[in-house]
Each structure stands twice: as C-alpha cells, then as structure tokens.
C-alpha cells in the first residue's frame, strides 16, 4: 500500500466506523422514504448547517445594510432604507476616490482591484516557473517540494507577523541591505514598497499550493509528445508553447480561479503586515468592511453590510460571466 | 494509528465534559501593558484566601479583545462580570451601579469621586467601579543625547516650537532619524491642541468644528512631518484609527524627544535600562497652557452579571486603600485613590532613578491641566474625534491628502459619526 | 524514457548533456534562492524569539541572540564593556555607575582600584550568546497552556470529523444522483466560496448568539464545517468514480448508504485525506472567529490564548514571537511526518 493510501485509509477510518454504525438505521430509512429520501438525507446535514451559518447571515446582511446606528442586534437598529448605499456610492468621479463621500471605501475598491491583478499574475507566473523546475530531474525532489509548500501551513496572522518583523525599519531586510552596502529602505512606510510587500508576502504564502497543482498537470502530460517533438528537433521554447502550455491550460485555469477568489478576500496577512498603511496604500475591501463594522471605535455595521453586499454583487456577476463563457466554450 | 485515535478521543471527551460553568463565579477580564497582570494574579490569590466562598477568576486577554470583542459581548449581555476598560464613556450604559451593594458607598464617592463621571452615563450618579490607574499624556527626552549634542534641555515653560527646534538640533548633531516622535493616536495630540487654545467641545456639548487654534497645531504637525522633524513612520504605518506606539523609536534612541504618557514609565524603565538617561518633561506649552490629557483604565462591574453581590465584594476588596497603594507601587502606575494620593510617599518598587523622577514629574504635571482638558475624559464623543484625527492626519502625512483637505475631512468624519450615533 | 530525459536532464552545451546550460543555472538559482526566501523568515523568527526585549529593539540586529555579560562586584551584577583607553589599547572593564555620558568603570580583576571615568562613546558592551528561554517559560507558567491545547485539539478533531462526514455526504449526493435543483444547490455553494467570514461577522455573531452557542467550542466548530471548498473538492473527485461500480452494487442489493460508505468513501480516500489535512491546518490556525465567539479564558483555543500579550499601549514582542513559534510547532510536526504525502497528495488527489 502506498503511503498516500495508508494515510488516506487511516484518516477515514473513524469516518467509516461511524458510517457503519449508522447502517441499520439508514437501511430502515431507505425502505421508508425511498431513494429520493436518501438523497435528501445525504444533503440534509450539510445544507442545514450551511443554511443556518452561511445563508442566513448573508440574508441578514442584506437587512443590516438597510439599517443605521451602532447597535449590534438587528432588532435594535432603525431602518434607514438605501441611505448606506447612497453614502457609499456618492462620488463626483468614481475613479478618483478622494472625490467620494466615503473616500476610504473607494480607495479600498481600487487597491483591491490592483492587488488582485498583480498578485494573481505574479503568483501564477512564479508557480509555473516553480512547477517547471520541480518537474526536472533533481536530487532530493521531496525536499524542494516541501521547501516551497511549507508556508501554506502557516496561519495568515503568523505570516503577517513574521514579515512585519523582517521588513520593519530595524529588521532583517535592512540588515541585509546595509551589509550589502545599500541604503536601508523603509519598506512598510513607503507607498510603493508597502504595496509590493503586501503582494509579495501573499505570493510567498500561497505559491507552494498552486505550484503543486501545476506540477500535477505537468506530470500528466504524456511523455511521448515530448519524444516526438525531440525527434523533429523542435526548439524547447516552441515545445513549451505548443505542447506544455496548451495541455496545462485546465490546471492553469483552476489556479487562476482559486487564486482570484483568495486574492479578492485578502485580509489577515496584509492587516497584520501593514495595517492598511502607509496612509491608505494597502487598505483592502475586507479590511474596510471589518473595521467599519466591527473594529473601529466608530462602529457602523450597516455601512459595512452595504459594502459587503456591493462586493459580493460584483463577485457573483463576475463568476456568472465566467461560468456562462465556460459553458459556451464547452458547447463549441 | 489506533493508539493515536484513542488518545485524541480521550482528550476530546475530557474537554467536552470539563467546561461546564459554576454558579457564583466572578470573572474579571483583564489586559496588560506591563507587569500588572502578574501583580493582579498575586492579589487575586490573596482575595481567594480571604473569600473562599467566591470563585474569582482572572482572565488575561489581549487589548484587542477589550477594544473589539467586549463591546459586542456587552451589547449581547454576554460579557464578564468585571472588566478593565479604557473606552469608559462609550460603554457606560452597560455598567452596573454598585451603590446598593456597597457597604460604604461614601468611601467610593470620597476617594474615587473625581473620576466617576468618566465612567457613568451622562446625568446619572451611579458608582460602576474605580480607576486602576490614572494616566496623563506627556513627553520624554533622552537627556544623554541632549548632553552629547551640547543642547540644553528646554525648561518647563518651553513651547512646542522650542522643543521641536531643540530636538532638531540634537538630531542633526547626533545624526538621528528625526527630532520627535508622537504615538499614532488622536488622544495624544488633543493635549497639544488644547494647549494652543483649541476648543473641541462645543456649546451644546457636541464636537465643535476645528477652530483656528486646532487647525494651527495640526498644520504645524503635518509640516514637521513633511520636513522630517516628526518621525513619519509611526503615523503612516497604518490606516484608519489604528493605534501605533512610538516607544520603540525612543528606546532605540532614534529620536531624542517622544510624546506619549505616564504609562510608558514602566516600559521605558524595563527596556532602556542603563542605555541612556531619560526624563519626563510634562507637556510642552502653547498660548493657553501646558496641558496633557488625563485618562486611564478602570475596573468596572458589568450590568449583565448574575451575581452582583459577589461582584461588589470583589470590587470592595480591590478598592481598599492598601491594595490600591500596593498595586500602584508594584506596577509603577499613578493611583487614582484620593487618600493614597494625599498621603503621598508612594514607594514605587524600582531601582531606576529615571523612573522615580519621571513618576514625580507626571504627578507635578497634573497641576497644569486646563479646564478643557479635564472635561475630555467625561466627554462621550471624544473617541469619535480621536478616530477622525488619527485617520486623516495619517493620510495627510503619507502625502495622500493636502492639509486643507485633511482638516475638512476631519470635520466631516466627526459629523458623520455624530449622525450615526444619533440614530 | 528518452522523453523524460529530454525534459529533465541538464541541457549542457548544444544539448550534449555536459557543461551547464543557462536553464541549469536558473534552476539552481531558483531552488537555492527559494530555500533562503522560504525558510529564512521562519529561522529568523525562531532566533528572534530567544532575544531579550532590549536585544529585539536594537539595530542593526544580530543574527544570534546575544546578552551583555555581567560580573558580580560588591554583591551586584555589573555589566562588562570593552573600553578603548586614551593610549589606544582596549581593556575589559565593569561599569559601576553612569551619569550622563560619563561612566565610572573598574578593572574586574582589581575592583578596589580607583574607578576610571570613561566617555560612553569609547566603550562597547561585551556580549555573549544567550538564549532568553524565559520568553517561553514565563507565559507557559502563567497560562493554563494544557487547557488551551486541549480546547484546540477538541475543535480541530471534531470540526474535521464533521467536515469530512457532512461534506462527503453532500458531495456524494451532488455527484452521483440526478435530481431537480442539483445545479441550483451547486451554484449556491460555489457562490458562497467567495464570501469571507470577516465580511459577515456581525450577522453571523447574532445568529450564533440566537442559537445559544456563544462562548462554547461548538460555536467555533459548527459555522466552519459546511465549507463550500470541501464539498466542491470532494464532488470533483467523486465525479471521476465510474457509475458502473455503483450500479453493480445496487444489483447486489446494497443500500444507498452502503454504496456511500463501502464504495465511494474508500475510493475517495485520497481526496478525503487532503481535505482532512487542510481542515486540520485551517481549524488549528483559526483566529478571528474564535476570538469573537469565545469570551472566557477556560474556552480559549491556543491561538487566542497565546495572543493575550498584545497590550493597549505596548506590545510585548518577546512574548509574541515566542508564542508564535509555540503555536506553529504542532503544524510543523504534522508537516515533517506527512510531508511526502501532503505534497504528493495535493498534486494527485486535490484536483482531477
């Protein structure tokens, strides 16, 4: 038995024991309710929990977004209609956040958009390079894979803390700069470098996961394709473009979609790392929502809810667009 | 593998069974800046010996919990029985009136009366708790750096301009990063604004729009940041109203002058050690005075407690004169207890001459408080004003907003907060 | 095989396999640079966690933790310095006291001699490597570490078990049955993939409060177990299990529940194991949600308990760094033992 199968079996052993214990009851239920009843039963626990702890709060969020005040519980909050939305959307020019009534919200919107594009692009590129390199014949393959994967296991708070500790003015990064004969840089206080750090740290933390997905794709490419290419004396760059890249597309698509979802939600690492500064250079949407609704001395849960609804609305529209395009592509 | 599963199952079951609460418990939620958590643990142990019938537990939490989670818990009626809180005026509606449970309410009015208004809802006379420590904002100077630079320390009447100018000469001669550093907090710059003659509290008790004196100081402060005399890092290193202390810059001798407050004394004493001499300078002067802002943290009883009598017993024990005295002496905090203050002669437990001198300097600086500054701790909108100040000044210092826009945004942010609070 | 070599060998001069092609150099630069970048920060964290508060504040920082040497003179510990004397030689001396920029110092070999007045610019502290283990021991002595640990294990194990059970059941139904509304359910689940917890914090809090789960470990566990990611991942994997297997079992009068646990569960074991590992890591690392739900220390998980060193006005970095290390040790241990499986498992099972 392979190691993977053994761990898999061990991890699922208690699960199967539990399922076995439920077996007689389930048999009775199937006799009673038929196969349709069984489908319902399979879905029930997950959907029930999902409904109570995900769907209901999302629904409540819609209600919150139409109330005002600082009270926590919906029943205590006065109804204000679309006022919170109006406050968020009131702008002379939406591309220039400072002309907006809630300038922080729009700064966060555009920062997040920039972050998503940069982070997903950089990470996909770096993950691809890493996967291509890990796919070569190397001594101690497992070690190298572990090296790149290990940060994935750290909590975002720890990731932010480690890097804040390194990038602060008197940290390791500047020690290296000084030793290398360079001027120390105030990483987290410079608008450019702080944003770069937020992007870079997030790539650092997640790169390994995506590299492994791509590596799996590379390993699934039939070897005889490369053999044929070599017989024809095709140049390596051409091989990469004509064979590797097209066959890797499904994995690349998965990587891009997953990375996009994560990037839009960027919060903990960046929050611990820069706190949204300098100024508002790394203020992202989730931080805006969290601070407005929960952590600020001037709490405004209604405004935060309205912002989250707007954010979710944009995301759902983007997803649906993607899905429908995928479907059309599949039909072709 | 089986053995691992058995062990995990055992731990899991033990936890599931072991977490039932007992009736008659009293929980104190406590955060620490220095050694006060350890001192409290000692005191709690002694309380238990005195009162075996009450099961008192001290829960040490991060300040973040007090600031972000506790308000929600209070609103939900889920809070602890007693908590150490700083945002007193905002949470005052959730505090318990101890008066009917206290054996001697007059002891409390007599000794803690001066600060009771800070922690009760406007126009009430409840006794919700007492201040564990008083704080006062004020400055610290690195005397060794001044001496090395051959710059005399400005005297007690020196203005903000004189301090900044002197510190800048030190910074230049000693090749330091900057001349001064101020914590990233609206609270810290409120004292200087009032010293310059600013009136933050309007006629109606609501925030007044920034007047010329306030705008003058804020403009000056942004100017000092732009020309590099005020350490920029502290203020631009976060967004929003986030608090960032500049203590590490002073400890590391990056700046010769640091404006914070009395709570830093214990910290400086522990971390500066023998590296340099430091002195507390009180607050620099403006045209209207040399005032800092008083404040501090209070231990308050929470209204949702099921055991108000036990809570009152606990509070009475910790409010005893000798306990307050011991707590202050061991934590290097300024006491709020009137009898303790008047009797004086606190034997602060430190070998550090710098720390002793600094504590005395802060006690002396309380005489400089202006009337406006003394109203601030009992003024409900203060935290909204602080938030707007920190947020917008940070953005102006980061170069995102012009001074003019930043000042306008401060006014409009405060106005938005007032509208939201009125709902 | 030749194809594999084509891909992986050192390219060398003109593809001869000898010498170094630029891609070989790039590979090793990437690998070595990657190792430094990936491991360096963690090593730095561990080293820093052994420094004293004074050493943490200093710049330039030292790589290893140092502390100033001291020596007992007249019954008190005196710090030692290397002093440059006026004639240019250096000498080790102990400081008796310092006033302003002048220190009174004596030769530790002859402490009775008249103290020398030394300008503080002309001396360097004499230091030795010292690990400040008190950064670890002091918090551990003060906390009920064992209780936090047990709470964390409880949350992690129960949440993971329930996640595997409910998610696999739902994934089974969604992948192996055709029923009305299946696509709607799937779409709903995918859509909520995008809603981060921090965004619905306030309403979720009021829901948990309404069902009476505040300040309980179940309040931490339940909202996390219906993970859309888990359902999605397991469903994708189960779609690859051939339907003929299920049909054959039905011929043998197996009940639907038996098909689920006897056939589908074992076949989906690799995907379940990957989900299990991620669930363990996620639940172990969870911070924001437990912080909101748990109010009394006896219910704290490790991550929350270790966080209590962040004060209002000061952050005690020496404790925070040490506690960060303590919190990631279990995760690192799991990783060291299952490293090979985790990395190959995600690659092979995670996404087919």
The tens digit of pLDDT for each residue in A254-268 reads 788 888 888 888 888
| Cβ distance of B248 and C59 shorter than 8 Å | no
- The residue of chain B with its CA nearest to that of A103 is B409
Inter-CA distances, B131 with B120, B338, C314, Å: 12, 11, 19
Identify the CA nearest to C285 among candidates A258, A287, A275, A153.
Answer: A153
Which residues, other chains included, contact B376 with Cβ-Cβ below 8 Å and sequence gap of 6+? B190, B194, B200, B201, B293, B294, B295, B382
Residue-by-residue DSSP string for B282-331: EPPBBTTB----EEEEEEEEBTT-S-HHHHHHHHHHHTSHHHHHHHHHHH
Measure CB to CB from residue A189 to each of B71, B75, B237 and give the nearest one: B237
Residue C104 shares a structural domain with residue C49: no
Chain A / chain C CB contacts < 8 angstroms? 331
Residue C191 shares a structural domain with residue C106: no
Q: What is the CATH number of the domain that holds A294?
A: 1.10.3720.10
**CATH top-level class of B13-134+296-343:** alpha beta
**Lookup result for tokens 């139409």:** A66
Please indicate whether the domains covering B13-134+296-343 and B137-294+353-422 agree at the CATH topology level. Answer: yes
Tokens in use for B135?
Answer: 């704080």
Phi, psi of C143 (to 5 degrees): -90, 160
**Which pLDDT tens digit goes with each residue over A110-152?**
999 999 999 999 999 999 999 999 988 888 888 888 889 888 8
Greatest mean pLDDT among A198-202, A207-211, C65-69, C272-276 lies in A198-202
The answer to whether A271 touches B234, Cβ cutoff 8 Å, is no
| Cβ distance of C150 and B11 shorter than 8 Å | yes
Average pLDDT over residues B308-320: 95
| Cβ distance of A7 and C59 shorter than 8 Å | no
Residue-by-residue DSSP string for A280-317: TTT--HHHHHHIIIIISSS--HHHHHHHHHHHHHHHHH
Residue C76 shares a structural domain with residue C220: no
Q: Spell out the domain ranges in chain B.
A: 13-134+296-343, 137-294+353-422
Tokens in use for A185?
Answer: 């840089």
A257-278 burial, b at 16+ Cβ within 10 Å, e below that, comes to ebbbbbbbbbbbbbbbbbbbbb
- Give the confidence band of B345 by pLDDT, cuts at 50, 70, 90: confident
Residues spanned by the domain of C13: 1-30
Does the residue A58 lie in any domain? yes
Residues from chain C that touch B73, judged by Cβ atoms under 8 A, are: 295
Q: What burial class does residue A249 get, using C-beta atoms within 10 Å of its C-beta: 0-12 exposed, 13-18 middle, 19+ buried?
A: exposed
- The residue of chain A with its CA nearest to that of B68 is A295
Does the residue C130 lie in any domain? no
Measure CB to CB from residue A23 to each of C37, C258, C281 and give the nearest one: C258
**Which pLDDT tens digit goes with each residue over B97-122?**
999 999 999 999 999 998 999 999 98
Does the residue A79 lie in any domain? no
Which residues, other chains included, contact B221 with Cβ-Cβ below 8 Å and sequence gap of 6+? B182, B189, B192, B230, B393
Measure CB to CB from residue C209 to each of B34, B37, B76 and give the nearest one: B76
Does the residue C92 lie in any domain? yes
Which residues, other chains included, contact A41 with Cβ-Cβ below 8 Å and sequence gap of 6+? A26, A29, A33, C169
- Give the confidence band of B18 by pLDDT, cuts at 50, 70, 90: very low
Compute the nearest-CA separation of C54 from chain B (Å): 6
- Give the confidence band of B376 by pLDDT, cuts at 50, 70, 90: very high
pLDDT of residue B284: 95
| Cβ distance of B274 and C98 shorter than 8 Å | yes
Distance from the first to the final alpha carbon of chain C:
24
Phi, psi of B58 (to 5 degrees): -105, 120
- pTM equals 0.85
Strand pairing class (B278-282; B257-261):
unpaired
Angle between helix axes A301-331 and A56-64 (nearest 10 degrees) is 130
Tokens in use for A309?
Answer: 């609804």
Compute the nearest-CA separation of A94 from chain C (Å): 23
What fold, for B137-294+353-422?
D-Maltodextrin-Binding Protein; domain 2 (3.40.190)
| Cβ distance of C58 and B252 shorter than 8 Å | yes
Measure CB to CB from residue C308 to each of B61, B69, B79 and give the nearest one: B61
- The residue of chain B with its CA nearest to that of A289 is B240
Residue C60: asked if its preceding bond is cis (omega within 30°), the reply is: yes
Greatest mean pLDDT among B267-271, B287-291, C281-285, C319-323 lies in B287-291
Which residues, other chains included, contact B62 with Cβ-Cβ below 8 Å and sequence gap of 6+? B31, C307, C308, C309, C310, C311
Does the residue A142 lie in any domain? yes
What CA–CA distance (Å, rounded) separates A99 from C127? Answer: 56
**Which pLDDT tens digit goes with each residue over C4-17?**
444 444 554 444 55
What CA–CA distance (Å, rounded) separates B41 from B38? Answer: 5
What CA–CA distance (Å, rounded) separates A103 from B240? Answer: 12
Q: Is A233's Cβ below 8 Å from some Cβ in C?
A: no
pLDDT of residue C60: 74
Chain A / chain B CB contacts < 8 angstroms? 102
Q: Which chains touch C (3 or more CB pairs under 8 A)?
A: A, B
Residues from chain A that touch B242, judged by Cβ atoms under 8 A, are: 275-277
Q: What burial class does residue B175 get, using C-beta atoms within 10 Å of its C-beta: 0-12 exposed, 13-18 middle, 19+ buried?
A: exposed
Tell me: pLDDT of C157 over 80. yes
Residue C176 shares a structural domain with residue C276: yes
**Which pLDDT tens digit goes with each residue over C174-195?**
999 988 888 888 888 877 777 7
Q: How far is CA A116 from the centre of its chain?
A: 10
| Cβ distance of B72 and C98 shorter than 8 Å | no
Residue C61 shares a structural domain with residue C121: no
Q: Is A27's Cβ below 8 Å from some Cβ in C?
A: yes
Average pLDDT over residues C96-124: 77
Does the residue C291 lie in any domain? yes
- Average pLDDT over chain B reads 89
Does the residue C132 lie in any domain? no
- The residue of chain C with its CA nearest to that of B39 is C142
Positive or negative, the Cα torsion across B23, B26, B31, B35? negative
| Contact residues of C toward B, CB < 8 A | 53-54, 57-59, 79, 95, 98-101, 120-121, 142-143, 150-151, 153-154, 157-158, 202, 205-206, 209, 214-217, 291-292, 295-299, 307-315
Residues from chain A that touch C196, judged by Cβ atoms under 8 A, are: 265, 267, 286
3-state secondary structure of C253: coil
pLDDT mean for each 10 residues of chain A (332 residues): 61 80 87 86 92 91 90 86 91 87 92 95 95 87 86 86 86 87 88 95 93 86 85 83 87 84 86 87 91 81 91 78 68 58
Residues spanned by the domain of A117: 101-331
Compute the nearest-CA separation of B110 from chain C (Å): 29
What CA–CA distance (Å, rounded) separates A47 from A210? Answer: 29
Does the residue A223 lie in any domain? yes
What CA–CA distance (Å, rounded) separates C233 from C224? Answer: 16
3-state secondary structure of B60: strand
Name the least confident of B131-135, B145-149, C8-12, C207-211. Answer: C8-12
Q: What is the CATH number of the domain that holds C331?
A: 1.10.3720.10
Name the least confident of A230-234, B15-19, C160-164, C288-292. Answer: B15-19
Inter-CA distances, A72 with A64, A289, C345, Å: 10, 15, 44
ipTM for this model:
0.80
Residue C189 shares a structural domain with residue C251: yes
Residue A222 shares a structural domain with residue A108: yes
| Range list of H helices, C198-316 | 201-210, 217-225, 228-238, 243-251, 256-258, 265-267, 269-285, 288-293, 302-305
Does the residue C131 lie in any domain? no
What CA–CA distance (Å, rounded) separates C257 from A162? Answer: 47
pLDDT of residue A5: 61
pLDDT of residue B22: 52
Total of domains in chain C: 4
Total of domains in chain A: 2
Measure CB to CB from residue C311 to each of B31, B38, B41 and give the nearest one: B31
- Say which DSSP state C86 is in: T
Identify the CA nearest to B279 among candidates B355, B346, B182.
Answer: B355
A34, A62, A90 — which closes off a domain?
A: A62
Identify the CA nearest to A194 among candidates A231, A167, A222, A223.
Answer: A167
Compute the nearest-CA separation of C114 from chain A (Å): 39
**Which pLDDT tens digit goes with each residue over B168-218?**
999 999 889 899 999 999 999 999 999 999 999 999 999 999 999 999 999
Residue C339 shares a structural domain with residue C311: yes
| Range list of H helices, B132-185 | 143-149, 160-174
Residue A177 shares a structural domain with residue A290: yes
Inter-CA distances, C30 with A122, A133, B253, Å: 15, 8, 39
Angle between helix axes C317-345 and A3-50 (nearest 10 degrees) is 110
Angle, CA A134 vertex, CA A128 and CA A135 arms, to 5°: 90
What CA–CA distance (Å, rounded) separates B183 from B221? Answer: 13
C20, C48, C65 — which closes off a domain?
A: C65
- Give the confidence band of B14 by pLDDT, cuts at 50, 70, 90: low
Residue C160 shares a structural domain with residue C147: yes
- The residue of chain B with its CA nearest to that of A104 is B240
Q: Which chains touch B (3 or more CB pairs under 8 A)?
A: A, C
- Give the confidence band of B9 by pLDDT, cuts at 50, 70, 90: low
Q: Which of B12, B91, B185, B236 to mutate to test the interface with A (most CBs of A within 10 A)?
A: B236
- The residue of chain C with its CA nearest to that of B32 is C311
pLDDT of residue B396: 95
What CA–CA distance (Å, rounded) separates B254 from B250? Answer: 6
Residues from chain C that touch A73, judged by Cβ atoms under 8 A, are: 206, 209
Residues from chain C that touch A19, judged by Cβ atoms under 8 A, are: 165, 257, 260-261, 265
Does the residue A188 lie in any domain? yes
What CA–CA distance (Å, rounded) separates B167 from B233? Answer: 17
Identify the CA nearest to B187 among candidates B65, B69, B283.
Answer: B283
pLDDT of residue B344: 77
Residues from chain B that touch A276, judged by Cβ atoms under 8 A, are: 238-240, 242
């Amino acid at each position: 038995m392979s190691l993977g199968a053994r761990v898999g079996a061990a991890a699922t052993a208690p699960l199967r024991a539990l399922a076995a214990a439920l077996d007689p009851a389930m048999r009775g239920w199937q006799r009673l309710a038929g196969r349709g009843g069984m489908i319902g039963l399979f879905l029930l626990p997950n959907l029930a929990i999902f409904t109570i702890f995900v769907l209901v709060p999302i629904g409540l969020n819609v209600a919150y977004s139409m109330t005002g005040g600082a009270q926590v519980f919906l029943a205590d909050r006065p109804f204000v209609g679309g006022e919170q939305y109006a406050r968020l959307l009131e702008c002379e020019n939406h591309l220039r956040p400072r002309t907006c009534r809630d300038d922080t919200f729009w700064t966060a919107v555009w920062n997040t958009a920039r972050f998503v594009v940069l982070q997903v692009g950089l990470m996909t590129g770096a993950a691809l390079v890493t996967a291509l390199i890990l796919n070569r014949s190397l001594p101690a393959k497992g070690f190298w894979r572990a090296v790149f994967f290990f940060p994935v296991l750290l909590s975002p708070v720890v990731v932010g803390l480690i890097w804040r500790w390194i990038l602060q003015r008197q940290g390791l990064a500047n020690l290296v700069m000084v030793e290398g004969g360079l001027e120390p840089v105030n990483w987290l206080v410079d608008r450019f470098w702080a944003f770069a750090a937020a992007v870079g740290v997030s790539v650092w933390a997640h790169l390994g996961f995506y590299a492994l997905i791509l590596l799996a794709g590379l390993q699934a490419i039939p070897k005889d394709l490369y053999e044929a290419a070599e017989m024809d004396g095709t140049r390596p760059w051409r091989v990469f473009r004509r064979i590797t890249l097209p066959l890797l597309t499904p994995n690349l698509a998965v990587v891009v979609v997953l990375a996009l979802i994560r990037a839009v939600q960027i919060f903990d690492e960046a929050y611990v790392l820069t706190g949204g500064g300098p100024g508002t250079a790394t203020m992202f949407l989730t931080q805006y929502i969290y601070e407005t609704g929960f952590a600020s001395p001037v709490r405004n849960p209604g405004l935060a809810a309205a912002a989250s609804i707007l954010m979710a609305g944009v995301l759902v529209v983007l997803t649906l667009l993607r899905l429908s395009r995928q479907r059309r592509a599949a039909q072709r | 593998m089986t053995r691992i599963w058995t062990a995990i199952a055992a731990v899991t079951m033990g936890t599931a069974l072991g977490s039932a609460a007992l009736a008659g418990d009293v929980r104190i939620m406590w955060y620490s800046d220095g050694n006060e958590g350890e001192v409290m643990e000692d005191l709690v142990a002694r309380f238990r010996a005195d009162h075996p019938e009450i099961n008192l537990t001290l829960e040490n939490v991060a300040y973040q919990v007090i600031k972000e989670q506790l308000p929600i818990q209070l609103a939900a009626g889920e809070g602890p029985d007693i908590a150490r809180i700083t945002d007193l005026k905002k949470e005052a509606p959730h505090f318990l009136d101890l008066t009917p449970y206290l054996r001697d309410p007059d002891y409390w009015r007599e000794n803690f009366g001066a600060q009771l208004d800070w922690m009760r809802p406007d126009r009430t006379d409840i006794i919700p708790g007492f201040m564990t420590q008083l704080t006062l904002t004020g400055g610290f100077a690195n005397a060794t750096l001044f001496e090395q630079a051959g710059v005399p320390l400005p005297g007690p009447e020196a203005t903000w301009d004189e301090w900044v100018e002197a510190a800048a000469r030190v910074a230049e001669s000693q090749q330091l990063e900057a001349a001064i550093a101020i914590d990233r907090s609206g609270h810290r710059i409120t004292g200087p604004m009032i010293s310059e003659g600013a009136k933050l509290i309007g006629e109606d008790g609501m925030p007044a729009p920034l007047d010329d004196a306030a705008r003058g100081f804020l403009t000056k402060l942004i100017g000092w940041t732009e020309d590099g005399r005020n350490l920029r890092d502290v203020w631009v290193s976060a967004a929003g109203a986030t608090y960032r202390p500049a203590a590490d810059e002073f400890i590391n001798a990056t700046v010769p002058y640091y404006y914070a407050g009395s709570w830093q004394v214990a910290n400086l004493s522990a971390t500066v050690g023998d590296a340099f001499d430091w002195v507390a300078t009180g607050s620099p002067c403006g045209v209207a005075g040399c005032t800092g802002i008083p404040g501090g943290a209070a231990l308050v009883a929470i209204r949702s407690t099921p055991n108000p009598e036990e809570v009152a017993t606990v509070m009475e024990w910790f409010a005893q004169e000798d306990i307050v005295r011991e707590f202050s002496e061991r934590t290097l905090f300024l006491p709020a207890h009137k009898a303790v203050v008047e009797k004086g002669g606190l034997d602060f437990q430190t070998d550090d001459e710098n720390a002793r001198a600094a504590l005395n300097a802060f006690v002396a600086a309380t005489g400089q408080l202006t009337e406006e500054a003394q109203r601030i701790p009992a003024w409900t909108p203060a935290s909204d004003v602080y938030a707007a100040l920190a947020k917008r000044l940070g953005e102006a210092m980061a170069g995102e907003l012009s001074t003019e826009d930043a000042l306008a945004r401060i006014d409009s942010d405060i106005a938005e907060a007032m509208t939201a609070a009125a709902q | 095989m030749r194809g594999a070599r084509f891909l992986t060998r050192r390219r060398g001069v003109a593809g001869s396999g000898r010498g170094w092609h630029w891609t070989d150099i790039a590979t090793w630069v990437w690998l070595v640079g990657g190792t430094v970048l990936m491991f360096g920060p963690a090593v730095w964290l561990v080293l820093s966690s052994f420094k004293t508060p004074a050493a943490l504040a200093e710049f330039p920082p030292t790589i290893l933790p140092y502390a100033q040497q001291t020596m007992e003179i007249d019954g008190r510990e005196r710090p030692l310095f290397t002093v440059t004397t006026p004639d240019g030689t250096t000498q080790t001396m102990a400081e008796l006291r310092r006033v302003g920029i002048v220190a009174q110092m004596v030769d530790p070999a002859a402490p009775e001699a008249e103290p020398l007045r030394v300008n503080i610019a002309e001396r360097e502290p004499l230091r030795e490597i010292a690990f400040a283990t008190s950064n670890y021991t002091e918090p551990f002595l003060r906390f009920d570490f064992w209780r936090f640990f047990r709470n964390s294990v409880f949350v992690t194990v129960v949440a993971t078990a329930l996640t595997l059970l409910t998610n696999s059941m739902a994934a089974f139904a969604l992948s192996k049955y055709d029923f009305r509304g299946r696509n709607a359910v799937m779409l709903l689940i995918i859509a909520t993939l995008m809603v981060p917890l921090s965004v619905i914090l306030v309403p979720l809090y009021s829901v948990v409060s309404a069902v009476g789960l505040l300040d309980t470990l179940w309040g931490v566990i339940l909202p996390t177990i219906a993970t859309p990611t888990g359902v999605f991942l397991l469903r994708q994997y189960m779609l690859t299990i051939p339907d003929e297997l299920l049909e054959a079992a039905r011929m043998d009068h197996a009940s639907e529940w038996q098909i689920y646990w006897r056939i589908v569960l074992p076949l989906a074991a690799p995907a379940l194991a990957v989900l299990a590992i991620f669930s363990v890591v996620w639940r172990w690392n969870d911070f924001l949600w437990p912080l909101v739900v748990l109010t009394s220390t006896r219910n704290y998980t490790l991550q929350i308990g270790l966080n209590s060193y962040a004060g209002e006005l000061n952050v005690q970095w020496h404790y925070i760094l040490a506690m960060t290390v303590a919190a990631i040790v279990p995760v690192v241990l799991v990783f060291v033992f299952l490293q090979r499986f985790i990395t190959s498992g995600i690659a092979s099972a995670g996404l087919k």
